Structure 1
Amino acid sequence: MSSKFLVVFAIVLFSFSCSNSSKKIIYIADAKVDCEGVAPQKCLQIKEEGKTDWTYFYDQIEGFDYEKGFFYKLKVEVTKIENPAADGSSLHYKLIEVLAKSKVPIILDEGSWLVTRIKNRDSFGRNPFIKIDLSQNEINGNTSCNRFSAKIAVKNNKVDISELSSTEMLCKDIDVESAFLEALKSISSYTLNEEKLQLLDENKNVLIECDYLKHE
């Protein structure tokens, strides 16, 4: 067999292999849940980057050791399996890299967020809080006095908040509410590290900083 043929064969084999695999970013939730496969079992909950809904994950991820109580952001290689077993998966997952591991969510729409700072202010009679539901493109919560709601669009780390409204109950500490609502209108991006969510303006200045609250 000539060396030229071997090179061509290797290129064809490599191209075929690549066409059957892809790389994805996925998130893993902090607890397994009851699910129904061939028999009742416990499944991981995963969410692909850019998706809004959690789904049950019945497969294994080669090279990944799951630890209960932690959220993960993973880069994985997904390969299509030719002629899978009748009760087997048609996809094979292999860990490429653990991008993040945290005791708190690595995504926005899990639990609630307690506001601990608005611009330079970090002391409140009552702290505002935020809850985000990306499946409905909604953000809501409390301003420290009134309930508020708005539409939110998130793409990568970019944020757009619109249709902001709130109830109109009179409050003693109304300046906190005013500062909070004004800051919300100017948010254009976010960062999420460890237990801190930071909502930033277009110049990357921190407008609102939050701590994670447990699931409601």
Structure 2
Amino acid sequence: MIKSIAAKLVLTLTLILGINMVSNADVIRLVVKEDLASCTGVAPMTCMQVKYKNSKNWELFYSPISGFKYQPGYRYVILVNRTKRTNVPADASAYEYKLKKVLRKVKMKQNTTTAWDFVLKHKWKLIQMNGVTQNDSPVYMTFDGEQKRVSGKSGCNSFFGGYDKSDGKLSFKQMAGTMMACSPELNKLEREFLTLIGDKTFKYDVAEQTLNLYQGNKLVLMFGMAPLK
């Protein structure tokens, strides 16, 4: 009889505690982004990116969500039980999170934008040639990704030709240009530039909004980004 009463009391207390825990939990709705982001908690790590009900921008989410099996490449809409913790360590979250329900899971198209896509969107003005800074240089070039053509100004003349790009290398081919008379200074600049790029192959990279062309390990041409007009 005593054991039966004790068992009933334990069951009653368990139910009460369970009800209290549920009642103390907030249910929140989260949109979870399809990729992780670098963040810093106790140490550098990766975090989910989420939006709450009133969020305009993605926010870093530092805590794990119990029961939620996140898969990169998918955007989720989920309901989560959020429970306030007691005796929280200084470096820990004030809340515990537990998945309540996955409302939506959608496969997202992956972003395939490359450095070369960035190059195609801009005009590139010469700012350095063979280690010499070019102040207010008239030389620039643009690239047509569909036609695989390059064109621009080599000084006071226009130039044009084709290009090939693969494995971090950029090759110019069949270069030609107009033949207007120029000042001696522009003639010298134009001749040096066209000789340097004419039917040549370079290694290239894009860094700090500059397009850099190398022969071997030597930087020979540097172009700065300028708006297309």
What TM-score, normalized by structure 1, do the two folds share?
0.52
Q: How many percent of aligned residue pairs carry the same amino acid? A: 15
1:147 to 139, 154, 158: 158
1:165 to 164, 176, 187: 176
CA distance in structure 2 between the partners assigned to 1:208 and 1:149 by the alignment: 17
Structure 1 or 2, whichever has the larger Rg, is 2
Q: Determine the structure 2 residue equivalent to 1:134.
A: 145
The structure whose residues are more often helix, as a share, is: 2
Judge conservation of contact 1:152–1:161 (CA < 8 Å) in 2.
Answer: yes
Q: Deviations over 1:10-54 (max 9, x none)?
A: xxxxxxxxxxxxxxxxxxxxxxxxxxxxxxxxxxxxxxxxxxxxx
Task: Please show how residues 1-216 of structure 1 align to structure 2 within 5 Å.
Answer: 62-63=34-35, 92-93=107-108, 107-124=118-135, 126-172=137-183, 173=185, 174-185=187-198, 186-201=200-215, 203-216=216-229
| Deviation of 1:114 (Å) | 0.7
Secondary structure of 1:215's counterpart equals coil
- Shift in alpha-carbon separation, 1:99–1:166, aligned structure 2, 3 A: closer
- Matched residue count: 132
CA distance in structure 1 between the partners assigned to 2:113 and 2:170 by the alignment: 22
Secondary structure of 1:181's counterpart equals helix
CA distance in structure 2 between the partners assigned to 1:164 and 1:207 by the alignment: 18
CA distance in structure 1 between the partners assigned to 2:212 and 2:143 by the alignment: 14
| Deviation of 1:93 (Å) | 2.7
CA distance in structure 1 between the partners assigned to 2:145 and 2:112 by the alignment: 24
Secondary structure of 1:107's counterpart equals helix
CA distance in structure 1 between the partners assigned to 2:112 and 2:151 by the alignment: 31
One-letter amino acid of the structure 2 residue matched with residue 196 of structure 1: T
CA distance in structure 2 between the partners assigned to 1:61 and 1:138 by the alignment: 38
Q: Deviations over 1:170-199 (max 9, x none)?
A: 111211001111111234221101211101
CA distance in structure 2 between the partners assigned to 1:156 and 1:132 by the alignment: 17
CA distance in structure 2 between the partners assigned to 1:179 and 1:187 by the alignment: 16
Judge conservation of contact 1:199–1:208 (CA < 8 Å) in 2.
Answer: yes
Q: Structure 2 stretches of 5 or more lacking a match?
A: 1-31, 37-48, 50-55, 58-71, 75-105
What TM-score, normalized by structure 2, do the two folds share?
0.49
CA RMSD of aligned residues (A): 3.5
